[in-house]
Structure 1
């Protein structure tokens, strides 16, 4: 899975995005394309809390404004009060770090309140193709998400991957970012084992540095310093068929920076 960054364990290889491969570029894109006034909405646990701590420093540095910051318990399903606040505050963007069933409730209640993607830009970092199936494409159409992979990503590897996935699990099933990250992780490990000529953990770990593989979402590479993976960043708009139309990508795989050392404002996050 993608996660909130600020971590690097010698015992973990991170195939999901860290902060500078999802959240930070998404905020920059929103500021440049959708507006400066942000409403932060998240579930009350470590990922949204940490993500929003990072976003607040980024907004200060890049000219954005924090309108409100709201958290609800995991599994929360009544968003009418928060939606009333969104109507009152009139943000340009809702940056959504809700998780699980809360997304179903929030987006359905947003639509019931007469607010569509034409009225309000939302960008989510935990809503992928599988979640769209559960919530409904008609509810989410026009809203945005940031990931490193979409089922619609145009690579030869992805065409084969999607066909094989549907052949095995059913034509109505969808792939998504966490599925792709779990998939290519096995292949990166296999390449490291081949290079090491051994299954011994320490030998495989050493051999893994710099390993590259053409994943369905594009080329990935293991960073030898922090055991995260170089990944291309993508922003997509939900379509009526439940798939994403890619509206922006980083052009090349982004070096993972879990502690935000390459950002002038990153030190403000890590010292708190």
Structure 2
């Protein structure tokens, strides 16, 4: 757990940087989405399950906001098959056990048609048996470690071959040969780093060190001492949540700012940059499948809509856009299937034509994962990311890395 002063500071930053739904403006042309468990007779219920408290709130509150914005827009445009959406919002509290409990409540007691949410792989893996048992469908919006394939989860976040490995390809091209891996101690960082190690060593390069801290941990003195001794060329950072605040502050205090020792992060986006303070990560790198700085009419429309609802200073991130896309993809799949049944919706989702989105045209592959473009960005003084590199084409998802998990494939009947 974080110490009291860190938590107080983080809460203050979040209150400044993020306007929560309860105090948001209602957009013109539609009613705010309902958040009670009772849907009207002509409506349909969905679950929205994110961490609204705890160490992951720094990242997940705004994903919830984006999902709610999509629901509100859809309701204002007439709903789904003529039905208004009622969102049942729950707090996963940054605790996998709570996520499992709330997933059970949503699917069994509230009888929602589908659920949007989750961030950490620990939370997703805790929810997975619930969705498989109850034959419901979770739309998961965050990059993850792969090595999983379920008919009851739509994985719109990046697989490793769409985020971590493109970051390594970029680093190779830049001449980096000596890497240090730092992560939170749970399944995503450990598995992502296993995959990275296989590729780093396969290229004849060196892993100078590998260190983990508990999720929410704030003491990086030992880790930083090992980094200093190892003298890496680049740090791959798979820390999540507010541990990043402590890590970057303590690295700066040790004289290892991102301009002196490059850091490539996989879970820091625009929202985290604002909450942490842009100066703290200025010059560092991030790998995602979306940055707010992407230039397209669809992205400009989304950013404007989000700012109109949550404030002119609000920023948007990759997981937020994926959460927003997930709601629209569910709507399109329901309408293609002509039914709210989760199995029929899943089958329709992977058969959809590309969906216009802030990411660009988005399409789910038969393995329930999204085909998407990879980007490398560098943090600027305002906490935005200048895009330095773009993959040559959208990258098909590979749930199982062939070096780390040879012979494993994903086939969903």
| Bucket of the pairwise TM-score, normalised by the shorter protein | over 0.9
Inter-partner Cα distance in structure 2 for 1:133 and 1:175 = 10
Q: Does 1:257 align with 2:382?
A: no
Alpha-carbon distance, 1:249 to partner: 1.1
Q: 1:34 to 1:135 in 2, by over 3 A?
A: farther
Asked if the contact 2:233–2:262 (Cα under 8 Å) also holds between the matched residues in 1, the reply is yes
User: What secondary structure does 1:52 align onto?
Assistant: helix
Match of 2:219 among 32, 57, 78: 78
Alpha-carbon distance, 1:202 to partner: 2.5
Asked if the contact 1:123–1:145 (Cα under 8 Å) also holds between the matched residues in 2, the reply is yes
Asked if the contact 2:194–2:404 (Cα under 8 Å) also holds between the matched residues in 1, the reply is no
Inter-partner Cα distance in structure 1 for 2:407 and 2:278 = 36
Query: Which is greater in Rg?
Result: 2
User: What secondary structure does 1:55 align onto?
Assistant: helix
Q: Does 1:110 align with 2:279?
A: no
In structure 2, what is the equivalent of residue 39 of structure 1? 180
Match of 2:278 among 116, 121, 137: 137
Asked if the contact 1:41–1:70 (Cα under 8 Å) also holds between the matched residues in 2, the reply is yes
In structure 1, what is the equivalent of residue 364 of structure 2? 222
Inter-partner Cα distance in structure 2 for 1:136 and 1:53 = 31
Map residues 54-133 of structure 1 onto 2, 5 A cutoff: 54-133=195-274
Alpha-carbon distance, 1:34 to partner: 4.5
Off by >3 Å, runs of 4+ in structure 1: 266-270
Asked if the contact 1:34–1:93 (Cα under 8 Å) also holds between the matched residues in 2, the reply is no
Structure 1: gaps spanning 5 or more residues: none
Asked if the contact 2:218–2:243 (Cα under 8 Å) also holds between the matched residues in 1, the reply is yes
Alpha-carbon distance, 1:210 to partner: 3.5
Higher relative contact order (CA 8 A, sep 6+): 1
Q: 1:124 to 1:269 in 2, by over 3 A?
A: farther
Inter-partner Cα distance in structure 1 for 2:292 and 2:370 = 20
Alpha-carbon distance, 1:22 to partner: 0.7
Write out per-residue CA displacement over residues 151-206 of structure 1, whole angstroms, 9 at most, x where no aligned residue.
11111100010000000011111110110000011111111122222222222222
TM-score by length of 2: 0.62
Q: Does 1:213 align with 2:355?
A: yes
Q: Does 1:30 align with 2:166?
A: no
Asked if the contact 2:154–2:368 (Cα under 8 Å) also holds between the matched residues in 1, the reply is yes
Q: 1:266 to 1:70 in 2, by over 3 A?
A: closer
Q: 1:269 to 1:108 in 2, by over 3 A?
A: farther
| Two-structure CA RMSD over aligned residues (Å) | 1.6
Inter-partner Cα distance in structure 1 for 2:166 and 2:267 = 15
Write out per-residue CA displacement over residues 41-88 of structure 1, whole angstroms, 9 at most, x where no aligned residue.
111111111111111111122222111111111121121222222122
Asked if the contact 2:289–2:359 (Cα under 8 Å) also holds between the matched residues in 1, the reply is yes
Inter-partner Cα distance in structure 2 for 1:95 and 1:217 = 24
Q: 1:192 to 1:33 in 2, by over 3 A?
A: same
In structure 2, what is the equivalent of residue 192 of structure 1? 333
Inter-partner Cα distance in structure 2 for 1:207 and 1:254 = 21
Q: Does 1:49 align with 2:176?
A: no
TM-score by length of 1: 0.94
Q: Does 1:20 align with 2:156?
A: no
Structure 2: gaps spanning 5 or more residues: 1-141, 409-413
Inter-partner Cα distance in structure 2 for 1:57 and 1:231 = 23
Inter-partner Cα distance in structure 1 for 2:192 and 2:248 = 20
